[in-house]
Structure 1
Amino acid sequence: MDSILNQPSNVTSLTIKSIDPCSSINSDPGNDQEKQITVFIEGHDYLKLFKEDLRLSRDSAEIALKKVHLIAHHLGPEFSNEFLIPFLMEIQTSLEVTLLPIMCDCWYLISKFLYGLEILKSIFKGLEYLLIQETGKIRVKATEVAMMIIDDFDNNDVLEVDSRSELVNDVICPMIISFVEQDWFPGPTSACYLIPRVYAYASEKSQTELRRLFPILCESDFITVKLAAGINMKQLIPQVQLDHAISMFWLVLKNMSIDNEDKIRKYAVESCLVFAKQCTSEQNLNFNIPILKSASEDASWIVRQYLAENFMTIYQIFEEAEVKENLFDCHVSLLNDNNDRVKSASIQSFSKWSGILSQELIELYVPVLDTLARKSTKEIRRGVCKSLGQFAMKLNKKEVMSVLRPTLQYLLEDEFVEVRLCVVENIHLICDREEFYGVIGEQLIETINMSIENSVWRNRLVIAERLTSFFSHFGATIFEQNFLNVLFKLLLDDVWKVRNAVLNSLEKICNECGSIWAVKFILSELKSLYLMPRQSTYGSNRNISCAIKIVLLQSLVAVAKSIDVENAIEHIVPLLLDSLTDSIPNIRFVCVNSLANLFVIYKNEKPELFLQAKCALIKLCQDSDIDVKYFSKKALDTYEESFRDSLVM
């Protein structure tokens, strides 16, 4: 195509729009403005040059195909339909297989630049060759292009929506019929994908024919065709009226559910769940529930695992009484499956949606989960903890204590800290302030100590994220005696994510506890850690790293949000001013931002108390570090903005 653009004479300039951005082919993706394209126009030389580029090499052919819109635009609909499209239909039969996906895009490009029903009919005749290729990638691409062209009727004012029905009924449906009648698998496979896509646009007569054809595809001798039919059946079922659906799908689903191929049996379950949404209770009892029951006992773990992972859909489709009577035992069977993958998938899925169950069903599931908690692997026991936590949201305190507490308390003694932590996340369900000083409180503290000493940082993160709930649930006294040391140890953690979680918890705790408690128990220890780490209980006789200093400075701001300005001036500002002279730029940078935050926190409250901080920031405007210098100026602007009213007075 470059040879077309570089002709020295007999040329003209055309203004054309860039290719639609939804296409995977774009002549120049960096520019979506209108472009001046110079093309050769004498006789049919431009088409000859296009043909030459296609024959030169694979690379030149690829470039030419990607620029076919230039030829189509210049020729116009009439000559493109007469010369270009027949040529492309002929040339694609001799192209390398690797170029055929590009050929799919080529047809779509033409459809974007040339409008009219006759053009589209010709394009679909060109796509027909690509839809019967043995290479799956090409067939899928051709199917996508076909549907993109059909969908363009909704987004293009030039195309009449009524023309879509004519295109579907006159071209696509006959093409599908010819595909189904073919003796080799590519055509029928493409038909499986096309039928659900065009069914809604087909006439009543064509829909009747498509309904006749789809069961034939489901019974094909080719496993590829049967798999394609199984994959696409769930898309077709909602489009078919119930009366037709029962006669069309019931026997098909029944045969699929006993097929020798486990993937087809899995697709039968998938489609069965879609079909069940349309059926009445009686129809489900006769048609769909037997298939689901059979799937729970299927010889293949793949089928059982799929059902286990999607059992929530069953509870959403059927009445709870229907599930209890017909499918509850099936779910229990999956939860106790002999295959670990099925068993794990069952409990992991159940732990996410078990909260939707009624109290009656919860009481039926609790003995099942209790058994799993005592006889299963670590991951399954964790799933049991999460499920019990979901149950607790539907029960009152008395019921939680009597029904759930025994199992949760048993899991709190688990040999794996990961299982114990799942219980810790729900400790408020089984342990009140009055009960903290008993066995459960001892087990909780033991679990927390194991976690913060554990090398797995995610275990420490769980505790860091629960600190706020510990304070809220157990109160300030218990927190001070049992959890305050945990807070400071995790605040000094080597992992940033753990420190950051503690920082967030610290701000919420101080906001809840009030100024006096925050100053006495939090602020004093933060100062000690920053200024005299070796003398602090939590400093571990070591020097504090730069990263730890930064989180301590950030903690001061978190505390400042909950204390009065006098305490901030007395305890926080001097430490920040001292750190402004630190040799490490990052420390100075954090201090500058911390002061800016204090200005906002104490907006219009005694600005004279912050004059010393203002003077220090003025000096830092000449700092050697560019970031410190820049943010010092911003902090001064924040000062002026925060205390504007007071300064005016």
Structure 2
Amino acid sequence: MASSESGDDSLYPIAVLIDELRNEDVQLRLNSIKKLSTIALALGVERSRTELIPFLTDTIYDEDEVLLALAEQLGSFTALVGGPEHVHCLLPPLESLATVEETVVRDKAVESLRKLSEEHSAADLEAHFIPLVKRLSSGDWFTSRTSACGLFSVSYPKCSVGVKSELRQHYRNLCADDTPMVRRAAASKLGELAKAVELEQLKTDLIPLFVNLAGDEQDSVRLLAVEACVNIAGLLSHEDTESLIMPTLRQCAEDKSWRVRYMVADKFTDIQTAVGPEITKADLVPAFQSLLKDCEAEVRAASAHKVKEFCNALPADSREQIIMTNILPCVKELVADANQHVKSALASVIMGLSPILGKDNTIEHLLPLFLAQLKDECPEVRLNIISNLDCVNEVIGIRQLSQSLLPAIVELAEDTKWRVRLAIIEYMPLLAGQLGMEIFDEKLNGLCIAWLSDHVFAIREAATNNLKKLVEKFGTEWAQNTVIPTVLKMAREQNYLHRMTCLFCINVLAEGVGADVTIKSMLPVVLTLAEDQVANVRFNVAKTMQKIRPLLDANTYQNQIEPALKKLGGDEDADVKYFAMEAMAAVPAS
């Protein structure tokens, strides 16, 4: 405030910022950086350029979180320094931030620099931005050289021919850098640069770099080259892809490092899209088979995840033949794989093969695999199969499904793992719609009732909501004949948890079955439970009365509900009293 008292208000924002940035409290320094835009507005564009930005450039020695906030702020500072014609004044502090040791700060500085590069005119880019890229790419510390890799693709398109040639040379140097971290950064950005350069330069300059990086001594570099392969292959003709890319890709698919093979498996369908159908048939099918049989479980799991997508993208004229001859034998082996992650990955996609292969092949070849997976000892495998049953139903029909898979589903309904039981409950309404009322009542209705007495609360809760969905599907008459009598019997069971479940069911069923059924069948049971010895049951009665109140006429409320609530309102238990009072307060005055 001293500067303000001395009459020099113009210095106040910078003075405050200096004081705050020198403060020992990191949070205070962080807050001051976060309000930089406000300070810049107070200073005006000229003083922001001539005072604020130089000050920030000279004081970049701070905690990483403060530097990170600064790097982020500067990326959207263009308007505050006078617009695109002055944007280059923001480069010095960001250049310094792009050289710091902390990776997240460097990455954020590069992100902001990339954003600012778009706001440079072609002349300003060559005058200010390109020299920055060159300085970073030839810096003494590897940190600056790794940051430089992310700036080539955004600056290259606007440059003159001579400058483009220089940039490609700088990038070649980075790809051959002594430090693996720099080569990794270059490999990770190679695909991006490939999209920016001209086709001729892609073939003559960048593809040799890709080949070298894919053969690097460090597997962490080689696996990043695989990612670049996707972008590069998508830019080339079929002939060029076959001659320039495929030899290296085949080498990567058989790399001695499982991490490289894993990356190939993970990117396999992207590679498939990039290289096209002919190369897929000739080269990728055998490579995919090899990956599905890989000695490393991580590679097999990544490949298994891609089975459906890969098969779906095969050329239509030879899809079935390729799957049956080349892919299905591998899939059959994976169903019995020793690793549960591999089996789980396969189970999440294998159902998707049914629509591709059709009814006959599904019944003959896939159903036995589904059955084997439904009986697998790993819960996640069983869950993944159950979750995708509708894919098979669409192909083979519900009759076939009920004959072949329903017995296994019934068995899983009593699985010791509660999450498996939960998955089956969640699938039940869909299965009910597919089976129809008659088959559902015969095969599955008993399970739905049994779940209401499960020892796990999450199962009882899910079973209660499941009943509501079934009533919506099959109607009130079905509910009166099939569900409600069984639910109401639970009110007489010794286990108070079952009596509470009865109330929960009434809560969700009342709206679905309507006022008449609620008043005649369910309300008497609710009133009986109001006298229950267990306080938890009594306060749930109050909650149920509040829930069903909108369905009841005034006469029923006054003669039956109100007296019961008043009695509960005088209950010795505080919770019962509270919920009874709440229920009465929620009733609109008549």
The two structures share one fold, judged by TM-score above 0.5: yes
Q: Are 1:555 and 2:517 counterparts? A: no
What's 1:595 paired with?
A: 548
CA distance in 1, matches of 2:304, 2:285: 14
1:301–1:342 Cα contact (<8 Å) kept: yes
Q: Give, as a single letter, the amino acid of the residue that structure 2 aligns with 1:346.
A: S
Q: Which has the higher helix share?
A: 2
CA distance in 2: counterparts of 1:616 and 1:6, whole angstroms? 77
Instruction: Provide closer, same or farther for how the CA distance between residues 125 and 471 of structure 1 changes in structure 2, counting only shifts above 3 A.
Output: closer
- Change in Cα spacing, 1:179 to 1:425, as seen in structure 2 (3 Å) is closer
Shift in Å at residue 318 of structure 1?
A: 3.9
> What does residue 185 of structure 2 align with?
228
Distance 1:84 1:434 in 2: 75
- Structure 1 stretch displaced more, 129-138 or 400-409: 129-138
Q: Which residue of 2 aligns with 1:282?
A: 239
1:527, CA displacement in angstroms?
A: 0.3
Task: Report how far residue 391 of structure 1 moved.
Answer: 0.8
Q: Unpaired segments of 5 or more residues in structure 1?
A: 13-38, 154-162, 535-542, 600-606, 641-649
1:126-275 counterparts in 2 under 5 A?
Answer: 126-150=93-117, 153=119, 163-202=120-159, 206-275=163-232
The answer on 1:124 being equivalent to 2:91 is: yes
Deviation, structure 1 residue 466: 2.8
* Aligned residue in 1 for 2:366: 404
Kindly provide the CA deviation profile for residues 361-396 of structure 1, in whole angstroms up to 9, marking residues without a partner as x.
432422221122234433333433343311113343
How do 1:11-410 residues align onto structure 2 when only pairs under 5 Å count? 11=7, 39=9, 62=29, 66=33, 76-78=44-46, 81=49, 85-86=53-54, 89-90=57-58, 92=60, 95=61, 104=71, 113-115=80-82, 120-150=87-117, 153=119, 163-202=120-159, 206-350=163-307, 358-364=319-325, 365-410=327-372
Residue of 460, 481, 490 corresponding to 2:451:
490
State TM-score, norm by structure 1. Answer: 0.75
1:356 CA displacement: 5.2
User: Distance between the aligned counterparts of 1:443 and 1:117, measured in 2?
Assistant: 67
Counterpart-to-counterpart distance in 1, 2:71 and 2:404: 70
Change in CA separation of 1:359 and 1:564 when aligned onto 2, cut-off 3 Å: farther
1:613 paired residue number: 557
Letter in 1 for 2:113: A
Whichever residue aligns with residue 553 of structure 1, its letter is L
1: CA distance between counterparts of 2:521 and 2:194?
Answer: 70
Partners of 1:351 and 1:386 within 8 A in 2: no
What TM-score do the two structures reach when normalised by structure 2? 0.81
Q: Over aligned residue pairs, what C-alpha RMSD do you find? A: 4.0
Q: More displaced, 221-230 or 142-151?
A: 142-151
- Give the deviation of 1:259 after TM superposition: 0.8
In the aligned structure 2, how far is the partner of 1:262 from the partner of 1:96?
35
Instruction: List per-residue Cα deviations over 1:27-70 (Å, max 9, x = no partner).
Output: xxxxxxxxxxxx465xxx98788767767868699479737768
- Once residues 51 and 473 of structure 2 are traced to their aligned partners in structure 1, the CA distance between those partners, rounded to angstroms, is 79
- The residue matched to 1:327 in structure 2 has which SS? helix
Residue in 1 that maps onto 2:574:
none
Distance 1:484 1:239, change over 3 A: same
Counterpart of 2:496? 544
Rounded Cα–Cα distance in structure 2 between residues aligned with 1:143 and 1:398 = 56
Distance in 1 (alpha carbons) for counterparts of 2:578 and 2:528: 20
In percent, how many aligned pairs have the same letter? 22
- Which residue of the other structure, out of 513, 519, 543, is the alignment partner of 2:474? 513
- Contact (CA 8 Å) 2:252, 2:264: kept in 1 or not? yes
Partner residue of 1:537?
A: none
CA shift in 2, pair 1:549/1:321, >3 Å? farther
C-alpha distance in 2 between matches for 1:68 and 1:421: 52
Q: 1:436 to 1:103 in 2, by over 3 A?
A: closer
DSSP-derived class of the 1:299 partner? coil
User: Is the Cα–Cα contact under 8 Å of residues 530 and 541 in structure 2 kept in the other structure?
Assistant: yes
- Give me the whole-angstrom Cα distance separating, in 2, the residues matched to 1:293 and 1:361: 19
1-side partners of 2:369 and 2:72: how far apart? Answer: 60
Report the equivalent of 1:575: 525
Distance 1:577 1:359, change over 3 A: farther
Whole-Å Cα distance in 2 between the matches of residues 473 and 399 of structure 1? 21
Measure, in 2, the Cα distance between the counterparts of 1:442 and 1:468: 17
1:461–1:356 distance in 2 versus 1, CA, 3 Å: farther
* CA distance in 2 between partners of 1:59 and 1:380 (Å): 47
Match of 1:446 among 396, 411, 416: 411
* Cα distance in 2 between the residues matched to 1:91 and 1:321: 58
2 CA distance for matches of 1:63 and 1:447?
55
Q: How far does residue 240 in structure 1 lie from its aligned partner after superposition?
A: 2.8
For residue 229 of structure 1, report the CA deviation from its aligned partner. 1.0
> How far does the alpha carbon of each residue in 1:80-138 deviate from its partner, in whole angstroms, 9 at most, with x for none?
6555655554555xx46767556656866975643256754333234434434455454
Unmatched 5+ residue regions in structure 2? 571-576
Contact 1:595-1:613 at 8 Å conserved across structures: no
1:396 is paired with a residue whose SS is helix
Q: Deviations over 1:520-571 (max 9, x none)?
A: 22110000012x124xxxxxxxx122xx545433423544455465433321
Cα contact 2:320–2:357 (8 A) shared by 1: yes
Match of 2:7, as an amino acid? V
- Return 228-237 or 477-486, whichever deviates more: 477-486
Whole-angstrom CA distance in 2 between matches of 1:124 and 1:275: 31
Count how many residue pairs are aligned between Structure 1 and Structure 2. 569
State the alpha-carbon separation in 2 of the partners of residues 64 and 380 from structure 1: 48
| Aligned residue in 2 for 1:646 | none
Is the CA contact (8 Å cut-off) linking 1:177 and 1:213 kept in structure 2? yes
Q: Match for 2:545: what amino acid?
A: V
